[in-house]
Amino acid sequence: MKSLLLALALSSCFATAAVVESDVCVYGGTSGGVAAAVQAARMGKKVVIAEPGRHLGGMTSGGLSAVDIGDPRSVGGIAREYFTKLAATAGVTLAWDKAFESKAGGPATGGAYAIEPHKAEQVFNDMARVAGVKVHFKARLSSVKKDGPHITEFATEDGTVFRAKVFIEATYEGDLMAKSGVSYTLMREGNAKYGETYNGIHYAEKFLPHATYSQPGENGRLKGGQGVWDRDFPLDPYLVKGDPTSGLLPLIQSGEPGTPGDPAPGVQAYCFRLCLTTNPANMIPITPPSDYDPKRYEIVVRFIEACLANGDAMDLRWFSKHDALPNDKWDFNTATFGGNLPGASHAWPEATCAQREKIAKQHEDYHRGLLHFLATDPRVPEQVRKDMQRFGLPKDEFTDNGGWPHQIYVREARRMISDLVLTEHHTFGRQNAPKPISLGSYGTDTHEIRRIVKDGFVTREGKTAGGRDGAPPYGIGYEAIVPKQTECDNLLVTFALSASHTAFSSIRMEPVLMCTSQSAATAACIAIDDKTPVQQVDYTKLKSRLEQDGQILEWKHPVSRKKSAH
């Protein structure tokens, strides 16, 4: 017995004492995390990825198959290499030298990279393996040690210690950044702080309740491009129609509408981007949660009533824009009443891993219940029910999670506050960020922050979906991915970077994350070689290496400005 106890004690000791040494440690195996790790490895450094979950690729392999990007000509380096490899798995060749073209009134963006999630993950795995990157899964951050402003190591919940010369924060949440004592915000700053237009509490005219809508074209869009999945009717929010004392329906949040432009808490709504199939031989039925109650979806019934009164010939697109993938699969997006669960995401950024699991389950249960409701409830139009009944979860996707995505869509969480804060002035082309290390090119796309009552009706607060007044792709400045030097001198932050809430709504796209992360890794390697804080990296040297590796740092194409409509 004594020998057994001694063996167990020694085993425990060795388990908690495990130390992983590297030159560059990337925290977060997102698409950006993989790009950063591959770049650092190619530059001759010993590299590890510490990923809290069980998979590489983040949202790009986690259901976001129809990847959004403004202009493919703004994407270079490893991101371009990755998507080229991914498209090749389906026999597709991407045209990197051409802008997207608008089709049938839709926006000139997205869908060109629509490939199955498991193939996306395989490309990430292969690139990391070929580069010699060591990956540690289930590496949930526990603590960080610093020597002054210098991170020396961090530990994970299982006791593993990761030591490196430079660390790259590539998670969606910015956990390593936060535990390292770096300044950040979770506030929508308000317009006054940086002289912006779309920040803080916001009500976009086209997403306010409208009594009537025109009928869409065959692609489900109105002439201006707005889809049937974005329809906001003046819906009564109360349990008993017209009676505020009866209480709010489920899925409606309490709270005052507030004053437009004022600062306010709250991050964008999260969802799961589902990959569904219509192939019965590859299908897992979508089961409802154990506590399914159709009463939870009463506001959806009222939405349906309004649509039918408007003359809509409803189908499944009213509840989810869905883009075709190879092999009878579809990438399901969200809608006015789709996968998004406004408000439930607000606690996520600061939550523990265990708490995040519960929040993710809350989103999953809501979404499963909604899909079951759409497929079975007699109050749902027959065409919608028939459409929904065609779909199920694919057996060959997310095989360790029953076909359900392993990654919730964290559209926004913590945002660093550094010496440079990117704002609308940068994304709209009114200012140029110094020392660009990548380009952003997408529009100002903010999913709703709250679903509340305003002027007696259900209203989505905080949602925007517009362009950038025709501005060209814009530079993401190097100083936006490094903390203030007094706070941390060997950390680079690539998703939770320094940007205002509204600027981040454009910057947050996955290809941009990959480009920015590759540049961060390049800077990390230069900082190691030159024995300098990351803030003091020689930009001339950095720029030269980035261009050598195919990164796009400047926009050199003609621009035709058109005023965007919000």
Span 436-458, mean pLDDT? 97
Model confidence band, residue 14 (pLDDT cutoffs 50, 70, 90):
very low
Q: What is the pLDDT of residue 265?
A: 97
The one-letter code for the residue type at 70 is G
Residue 154 and residue 167: Cα distance in Å, rounded?
Answer: 10
Share of the chain above pLDDT 90, in %: 87
Q: Which of 15-29, 94-108, 276-290 has the highest mean pLDDT?
A: 276-290
| Range with lowest mean pLDDT among 63-72, 102-111, 220-229 | 102-111
Q: What are the phi and psi torsion angles at 26 (to 5°)? A: -100, 120
Q: Which residues contact 98 (CB under 8 A, 6 or more apart)?
A: 72, 73
pLDDT for 1:
45
Which pLDDT band, with edges at 50, 70 and 90, does 6 fall under?
Answer: very low
Spatial distance between the Cα atoms of 114 and 83, rounded to a whole number of angstroms:
10
pLDDT tens column, 106-128: 555 555 567 899 999 999 999 99
Q: What's the mean pLDDT in 130-146?
A: 98
234 pLDDT higher than 90: yes
The two beta strands, 161-163 and 187-188, are: unpaired
From the CB of residue 25, how many other CB atoms can be counted at a distance below 10 Å?
Answer: 29
Confidence class for position 223, pLDDT limits 50, 70, 90? confident
Answer yes or no: are the C-beta atoms of 227 and 216 closer than 8 Å: yes
pLDDT at 7 over 50: no
Using pLDDT thresholds of 50, 70 and 90, give the confidence band for residue 8: very low
What is the helix, strand, coil percentage profile of the chain, to 5?
Answer: 30, 20, 50
Is residue 196 predicted with pLDDT exceeding 50?
yes
The percent of residues in the chain predicted with pLDDT above 70, rounded, is 93
Q: Rounded to the nearest 5°, which phi and psi values hold at 483? A: -70, 175
pLDDT range class, residue 213, cuts 50, 70, 90: very high
Q: What pLDDT is attached to residue 90?
A: 87
The pLDDT assigned to 29 comes to 98
**What was the pLDDT predicted at 17?**
56
pLDDT for 106 = 52
Q: Kindly tell me if the per-residue pLDDT of 225 is higher than 80.
A: yes
Arithmetic mean of pLDDT over the chain: 93
**Which has more confidence, 94 or 510?**
510
Give the global pTM: 0.94
pLDDT on residue 562: 54
pLDDT of 248 strictly over 50: yes
The per-residue pLDDT for range 337-363, each reduced to its tens digit, is: 999 999 999 999 999 999 999 999 999
- Inter-helix orientation angle 31-42/77-88, to 10°: 110
- More reliable by pLDDT, 240 or 87: 240
Please tell me the predicted confidence (pLDDT) of residue 113. 65
Q: What is the mean pLDDT of residues 269-292?
A: 98
Query: Which residue would you say has higher pLDDT here, 93 or 286?
Result: 286
Q: Give residue 102's pLDDT band: very low, low, confident or very high (50, 70, 90).
A: low
DSSP state of 101: -
In the predicted model, what is the mean pLDDT of residues 489-500?
98
Lookup: tokens for 348: 């996520």
Distance CA 128, CA 132 (A): 6
Q: Can you give the pLDDT at residue 160?
A: 98
> Would the pLDDT of 9 be above 50?
no
- H-type alpha helices, 169-246: 175-179, 191-194
The CA angle 105-367-365, to the nearest 5 degrees, is 170
Q: How many CB atoms lie within 10 A of CB 201?
A: 21
Mean pLDDT of 221-241: 94
Going by pLDDT thresholds of 50, 70 and 90, the confidence category of residue 4 is very low
pLDDT score for 16 = 44
First-to-last CA distance in the chain? 72
